[in-house]
Amino acid sequence: MNKKELMDVYYRMALARSFETRVAEQYTKGKIGGFCHLYAGEEAVALGALWSLRPEDRVVGSYRDHAYFLMRGGDPKTAMAELFGHADGCCKGKGGSMHMYDAEINFLGGYAIVGGMCPIAVGLGMAAKYRREDRVVLCFFGDGATNQGVYHEALNMAALYELPVIWVCENNHYAIGSSVARSSAEESMVRKAKAYGMPTHVVDGMDFFKMQSVAERAIRRARKGRGPSFIEAMCYRYRGHSMSDPATYRSPEEVAFWKKRDPIPRIKAAIGHDFEIGEEEFAVVDERVRRELDEAVAFAEAGSELPVERLYEDVYVD
């Protein structure tokens, strides 16, 4: 990767992290309501997995979906407006935090149901294979989803029909407030997935380069018609499950351990070392992020809710 590409990596990760900080601020001010799940700490997983995709490839994910939307190319303005519940949002204010969606960038949704994205990914993969389309599907989900029946049905079908689906399990060690050890008889996500006969990988999800390398291999394999792959990305969310969760089930020592492995300082250090980039160049990117998010918040604040007469638009196909 060249300097320009790596600075784009830093920009996208910094944008996603700062977006979540702004969301938390607006939530505490009462501008954003309902359930709200933040992605801070896991940025290397999303961007590393997404990096080698083509525009025509499709992506689905969990309810912790703001970063997927932004890193896929979504507009921070429409994302923030969606969180405000305003008509200018990416889903006209109807989806909110858990249901970001933009077909133009082939991000086909965050799904609030645990494991609910898995059969959608199978359907998209089946469609691509049936139509002989050169596209793959990337599906993000958490470790808690691996305990759902629909997850196992989806992996079975993807393997059986050799569908071009890459399964990315974000193992952040907690399903809401339950640790993996307390919620899963098998604590290794790859051991669960191996039963379906697909290649499996465990990767440091706090390291962009490792994540990108593993995901690229899986994507290439799927493009060759060789079927699905499974990636278990070991990562950590810095905040509680949602904005209403104080995360008192985690010790300060545990949180501190993972924050020492923060993916953004790691990518910054790597870029600075390889290309001798000083703080002033990173400061330019940071200022760009600050300005874009200032504009996003202002855009959202200036908007309004969808008129009641448009409430039932987009419910059915016209």
**DSSP secondary-structure letter at 112?**
S
What pLDDT, on the 0 to 100 scale, is given for residue 315? 86
State the Cα–Cα distance between residues 226 and 221, nearest whole angstrom: 6
pTM: 0.96
What is the length of the chain? 318
- Spans of the chain, pLDDT less than 50: none
Burial 45-75 (b: 16+ CB within 10 A, else e): bbbbbbbbbeeebbbbbbbbbbbbbbbbebb
In CATH terms, the fold of domain 3-300 is Rossmann fold (3.40.50)
Q: Which residues of 86-116 are buried (b: 16+ CB within 10 A; e: fewer)?
A: bbbbbbbbbbbbbbbbbeebbbbbbbbebbb
Residues 79 and 92: beta-carbon distance below 8 Å: no
263 by DSSP, 3-state: which? Answer: helix
pLDDT of residue 226: 98
Q: What is the pLDDT of residue 316?
A: 87
How far out from the chain centre does Cα 162 lie? 24
Distance from C-alpha of 58 to C-alpha of 288, rounded to nearest angstrom: 28
Measure CA of the first residue to CA of the last residue in the chain; give whole Å: 45
